Each structure stands twice: as structure tokens, then as C-alpha cells.
Amino acid sequence: MDPKLHTNFLNKYSFAKVAVILITSIPGLHRNKAMSDVGIAKARKWIQTSPIHQERSNPPSRSAVYALFSSIGKITSEVRKDFEDAFGIARFPSNELKPPCSLRSSAPDSENPHARSAVPNDELKLIWPSVSFVKDCIDGYFAGYELCGDRQRLYAPNVIPNLYEYLSRDEAKKRIPPHIKCYYRINSDDQSIHWALLTSANLSKSSWGTLQKNKTQLFIANYEVGVLFCPWLLEEVYDNRPSPNSDSPDSEKNTTQLHRGNQPPTPVRFFSSKVTGLERLHTHWRVNFPVAFKEPINSFLKNRAQQPWCDDQDFYEQDRNGMIFVNRTVKKREN
């Protein structure tokens, strides 16, 4: 299809009032200033220049970055540092972490080299389904085909200390396997969300890009698209809209334009929630932002009763549909 057709179509519309940031990944090399227009470099630009990120530095708030994805690439120390830098995480993990042979090790913590050396960075939480979740979900082991992560990648020293069990926040969806890709910074004290990114990009350098040549160029392998939601970008939008609390038939005229002249706009705050919602409070706009997973979440490192799903591991215990998972294939158990 001719790209000009798409351009002509989009030019019919104005995006001037759009108050979100489009984060795209386009395959190829992106150099110098063009880097900041795509992938991990664009996410970094918007997250690190945000007012909330700057306020966090002194003093730091009790918040963490949560990442939910359905596929994971090879996360080396360098790749992880690039992600942490983009997401505004100041601290880095120890480079001396060693991957465990098994989460079910019978050795006590004092004798277990994995438990002794692992010092998780609490500011990064990678969310992934457990074996028991996949086995008991509505699709059974068939759901494992859509969760791409082997033991080498999930038990890597830059991953396993920060890998947490996925549990659905919505009781009605607790057996539905997740396929969403989303990244949030959430404050653990009041469940406020500093920023939220909904995207097609999984946790891999193929999707986000690889910084090269002393970070002067960015190489991207995949096409991806996502939307970054930042509360401070919505302040003027909400101040110039009809109040959702107004029952007046003249609601179009009852706008809350509180930032006229030199008066600053009303702050907008996101909060983690099961459902969406908007409420005008005395001091701020409250936006209920849907988050798929339950908080707080359980660390696979600490909760050894659960194992992360690995698509290169065999599981002979039957799922809810009577199937087993062997050689990356779902099949009936042979009698």
C-alpha cells in the first residue's frame, strides 16, 4: 500500500490536543538527535525530564518500576542498565549475581550461593506467570506458547532477583493468561502512578533498541508502538473540560478553567485501580488507571513454592484440560 495514502488520511485530522506520548520502534539505525525520536531513547527522554522524576532524586520516593510482558530477550548487565536508565532507576544490581540451578534448592540460605549473592534492586519488578498459573489457567499449557522465556533468560543473574509472580488483580480474570505489555512507576505508599506505558514492546533489545558506539546510535530490530501516559501532560486538558461531577444540562459551559492568567493548572494524579475513572477533587484531578496485576507481588526468589514458567522445561503434571507439556509441545499423556 502506498504510504502517501496513510499520510493524506492522517493529515485530515489535528492531533494538537493529544496529551500522550507516542513511543514507536522502527527497524534500522538511528543516529545522534534522531535517536530520541524512537524506542528506548524516546522513553528515556520523556521519563527523565518529567517533573516527578526530578522530584524523586531528593528525597527518593517509595516507588518501583513494574514491567509486565509476554516475552523476554537476553538481558545482559549492559542491556539492563539501559532499561534502568530509561525508566529512571538510579541504582544498579550487583554484577556478581549468579544464576541458580533451581529455585527448589534444598540447601539452606547460608549454603545456597544464589541466595547468598542475590541482592535484588527493589526499584525494578519484572512480572511473569508461574508454572502453576499456566497449568491452571483456562488455556492450560497452550498458554505457554504465548509466553516466550526459557530458563537461560529467566534465571539470568540480571533477571531472577527481580522476577515476581503474576497474579490477576481482577478475580473474574484470575485464570486468563496475560498477553499485555505494560510498564508503570507506582508509589507503594498510596498506589499513585507516576507514569504508565502501554505498548506492544516486550522486554528485549530487539523491541526497544540497542545503544551502540558510545550511545551515539540506536539499532532497532522490530516494529513496535506504545503510548506513554504522564499525569502532568493532562493538567490543561482536564482543566478545560466539562467537570465529570456536574449534573447540569449546561455542563459544556461549566468548565473548570482554574489556570487562567497566572494561576497554575490543577494537578492530575493517576492511581492504580481495577477500572478506569475520573474524579475532580478539591486539590487535584484523580484518574483511576487500570493495572492488570495484583500488588504487592511475590518474588520467585523468596517464594520457592512457585517457579517461573519456562518454555523449554517439561511438565508432566496434567493441566486443567488433561494435557502435559513436553519438548515445547502440548500433548495428551500416554497411558
Q: Residue 10: inside a domain, yes or no? A: no
Q: Residue 6: inside a domain, yes or no? A: no
Q: Residue 252: inside a domain, yes or no? A: no
Three-state secondary structure readout of 135-193? HHCCCHHHHHHHCECCHHHHCCCCCHHHEEECCECCHHHCCCCCCCEEEEEEECCCCEE
Domain count, the chain: 1
Q: Residue 253: inside a domain, yes or no? A: no
Output the pLDDT for position 189: 86
Chain-centroid distance of CA 317 in Å reads 31
Of 22, 27, 20, 23, the residue nearest 205 (C-alpha): 27
**How far is residue 92's CA from residue 18's CA, in Å, rounded to a whole number?**
35
Q: Residue 14: inside a domain, yes or no? A: no
Output the pLDDT for position 33: 87
Give the pLDDT of the chain (335 residues) as one tens digit per residue.
576 777 888 888 888 788 899 999 999 999 988 999 999 999 999 998 777 665 555 445 678 999 999 999 999 999 999 999 999 886 533 333 343 333 333 333 333 333 333 334 568 999 999 999 999 999 999 999 999 999 999 999 999 999 999 999 998 899 999 999 999 999 988 999 999 999 999 999 999 999 999 999 999 999 999 999 999 988 878 877 655 544 443 433 444 444 445 678 889 999 999 889 999 998 999 999 999 998 878 899 988 889 999 999 999 999 999 999 999 999 998 76
Domain containing residue 154: CATH number:
3.30.870.10
Give residue 215's domain range. Answer: 19-243+262-332
Q: Residue 230: inside a domain, yes or no? A: yes
Q: Residue 11: inside a domain, yes or no? A: no
Q: Residue 121: inside a domain, yes or no? A: yes
